[in-house]
Amino acid sequence: MTLHINESEVRQLLTMPMAIDAVEDISRKQAQGNVQVHPRRRFELGGGGFFHHMAALDKEAGFVATKQYTYVKGKLCFLVTLFSATTGELLALIEADYLGRQRTGAASGVATKHLALKGANSAAIIGTGGQARTQLEAINSVRLLDSAYVYGRDKQRRDQFCEEMSERLSINVYPMESAAAAVRDAKIVSTATTSSHPVLTGGDLPPGIHINAIGANHAHKQELDATVADRPADCL
């Protein structure tokens, strides 16, 4: 029997520590050659809409998964399918909006755990949407933050984000007036925007900062300018 797991059930079942453990485990398998990934592909639906799809095979566990989603008239709809690699059976259909947010946050959590400076306990979050929330939650899960600094263009959303996340994570979360101000005292930064122009430049970033840039998933999007990549590795 195929399981149908809806958004509400995903929210009840999938915690951030679980997601981080899963992403770290699958990343290790991929490095060992036991996971095969087909990267995202997309085609236009007309009227500014897109259909996206990607797939992965976990040879060790014996699962094949696909992720498909549409973007039409400003709305995103996500679905993950899970198959048995040995029988071909469709095991599960999973509504995957929250699942995707958790997975993306967890990837930044794993990267932060292994790549950020030891003792880094302050973060900047650029963006105030659903992805920004799981970015901050994941970073806090692996580094136990003292403080976080947040910038988003909409002041009301920015203030609401800080109030909500401060209460949820029991840390100080401060609204900032610009992206540059948000990163000034941070050791870790996550950019989670849909911007088509850089929200941070190399000159904005203090030495030793770790960057999780997650928003630029299309050719027309850009969150960091070219000078970020030009900086020496020990400066980032």
Q: Alpha-carbon distance 86 to 208, whole Å?
A: 46
Instruction: Name the burial class of residue 149, with classes exposed (0-12), middle (13-18) and buried (19+) by CB atoms within 10 angstroms of its CB.
Output: buried
Mean pLDDT, to the nearest integer, of 117-136?
A: 96
CATH homologous superfamily of 3-95: ornithine cyclodeaminase, domain 1 (3.30.1780.10)
At 31, is the pLDDT very low, low, confident or very high (cuts 50, 70, 90)?
A: very high
Asked whether the beta carbons of 97 and 76 are under 8 A apart, the reply is yes
| CB hemisphere CA count around 57 (13 angstroms) | 8
Distance CA 111, CA 136 (A): 13
Q: Which superfamily, per CATH, for 105-231?
A: NAD(P)-binding Rossmann-like Domain (3.40.50.720)
Average pLDDT rounded to a whole number, residues 177-197 = 93
Look at residue 44 in the predicted model and tell me its pLDDT.
94
- CA 122 vs. chain centroid, Å, equals 18
First to last CA, the chain: 49
- pLDDT given for residue 69 in this prediction: 97
Q: What is this structure's pTM?
A: 0.91
Contacts with 18 (C-beta within 8 Å, 6 or more apart), sequence order: none
Looking at residue 229, what is its pLDDT? 74
Q: Where are the domains of the chain?
A: 3-95, 105-231
Query: What is the per-residue pLDDT across 161-186, written as a single tens digit (0 to 9) for each?
Result: 999 999 999 999 999 999 999 999 99
